[in-house]
Amino acid sequence: MIDDDERMEILRRQGRRLAWLMAGAAIGLAVVLLVVVVAVIAVGLGAEPGSEAGSGTVGALRGAGPVGVIAGASVLLAALLGLVPGVRELEVTGARGMLGADGELLVPRRPRAGHHARTALWVVLHLGSGLLCATLLATLVPSAGLFLVELAAGRSLGSGLPMPEGAVGRLGAAALALLIGAASALAWWPLGAALSRLAPHLLGPTATDRLEAAEQRVAREAERTRIARELHDGIGHALTVVSVQAAAARTVQHRDPEATAAALAAIEETVRDATGELDAVLALLREEEGGRRTPRHPAAPDGRATDAPAAPGDEPAAEDELELLLAGHRRAGMDLRRRGELPADLAPLQHRHLARGLGELLTNAQRHAAPGPVTLALGADDGRVHLEVTSPLDDAFAEPADDPARPAAGPGGHGLVGLRERAALLGGTLEAGPRGEHWIARLDLPLLREEER
């Protein structure tokens, strides 16, 4: 059972469809009149003086050719109108708001030939269907009404239709006139419904558009996976440092208060840095969801995000990140020994890549290595920069597997998978696996000097 609100909504929707068709009729009439005027002028200029084609408008129209030529030229002009920039956007808006099309409609940022062809066809249908409805409403409906009046009066009133003889003939003619008049008056109803279903096929996305949308979704998912791995690397490293420092503080809390205070300070700093990194990742995800870019907010001393934008001096210089990373692991209790130096003119971007990779490798050593010194070797040669972390191999990982770089075969977790993928994207490699009594991980990247950025 349809209630009053639903009935009114149906009437409003049909009214909008009729208005959409009448707008197409108005534009279509303007197109036809333009074609007729151009044809009349062309015939008049080409006709000889005194000829039938050159004597007045009627003669010019007779000489302009058959109606099919005028109609064909009008269709061509309507199709060209569909190629005008902005017309597809107007048609999409009209199809959604007035025609009530429910399917997916698209205004491409970079239209291709397929988009232009479909838009041109849709404009021709819009103008043609509007002219058809307007013609039916302006001709057949009044003619049917006038013929009914003639049948009631029993004489012709100028319709030009023959009067039937006998009561049965007049009754049949009246029924036929009513049927034709009603069908002509309501022709826009099924026509509008049919066009609303056709709109998604002509104004919707093409197969190429759907493929591009699928590729964009895949790219977004890949980016989210990368962000998740980055978050795993940073937060996993922070949790490892916190657990080591907490264990150290618990061990020496009674006999060495200063060491306990240092361990708690390291925990506080690590948690603050991890919170800032988590806030940055969440801000990036919010940018993707909202389709806008937002400033990155630093973490306050208590670990909470602030509303103030990050100042340029809040972040450490690229070349200092490595030293801060090593100092943090040493404070966490790691016996970290360093050999070699990075090139002085190494690009800041590569400094950051190396610092992030080193953070993952040292985190794995902190979690899984046996007690003993951890050695970091830095160097550059033959256009490559590399770092190598050597840590004592725990007895649980002493037996190498078929693939020593596989995370399950040694102290490499999911972070090594992400690090290996990031190295490959940068044109580098990551090799990790047991060698004798040590676990050795080597990160190798193309050398990027500062003047080469």
Amino acid 291: pLDDT: 52
Residue corresponding to tokens 């819009």: 126
pLDDT one-digit tens code per residue, 361-378: 888 887 778 888 999 999
pLDDT one-digit tens code per residue, 89-134: 999 999 999 988 888 898 888 888 989 999 999 999 999 999 999 9
Amino acid 49: pLDDT: 59
Percent of the chain's residues with pLDDT above 70: 77
Question: Pairing relation of β-strands 374-381 and 336-339?
Answer: parallel
Give, rounded to a whole angstrom, the gap between the first and last alpha carbons of the chain: 71
Question: Pairing relation of β-strands 429-435 and 438-446?
Answer: antiparallel
Given a cut of 70, whether residue 156 has pLDDT beyond it is yes
pLDDT one-digit tens code per residue, 382-432: 888 999 999 998 766 554 444 444 333 444 445 677 788 778 877 789 998
**Crossing angle, helix 4-46 and helix 113-135, to 10 degrees?**
100
Amino acid 283: pLDDT: 67
Percent of the chain's residues with pLDDT above 90: 29
Q: How far apart are CA 425 and CA 319, in angstroms?
A: 22
pLDDT one-digit tens code per residue, 288-341: 555 544 444 433 333 333 434 444 444 455 567 788 888 878 877 788 999 998
356 vs 78 pLDDT, higher one? 78
The mean pLDDT value for 354-361 works out to: 85
Amino acid 135: pLDDT: 93
Amino acid 301: pLDDT: 36
Given a cut of 80, whether residue 167 has pLDDT beyond it is yes
pLDDT band of residue 65 (cuts 50, 70, 90) is low
SS3 at position 337: strand
Amino acid 290: pLDDT: 56
As beta bridge partners, residue 376 has 338, 389
What value does the CA radius of gyration of the chain take, rounded to a whole number of Å? 40
Distances (CA, A) of 90 to 79, 134, 289, 340, 437: 15, 21, 28, 66, 72
Q: How far apart are CA 266 and CA 268, in angstroms?
A: 5
DSSP conformation class of 435 = E
The mean pLDDT value for 208-231 works out to: 77
pLDDT band of residue 1 (cuts 50, 70, 90) is low
pLDDT band of residue 87 (cuts 50, 70, 90) is very high
Yes or no: say if 129 and 24 are a contact pair by the CB < 8 Å rule. Answer: yes
Residue 205 tokens, joined: 């996305």
Amino acid 272: pLDDT: 73
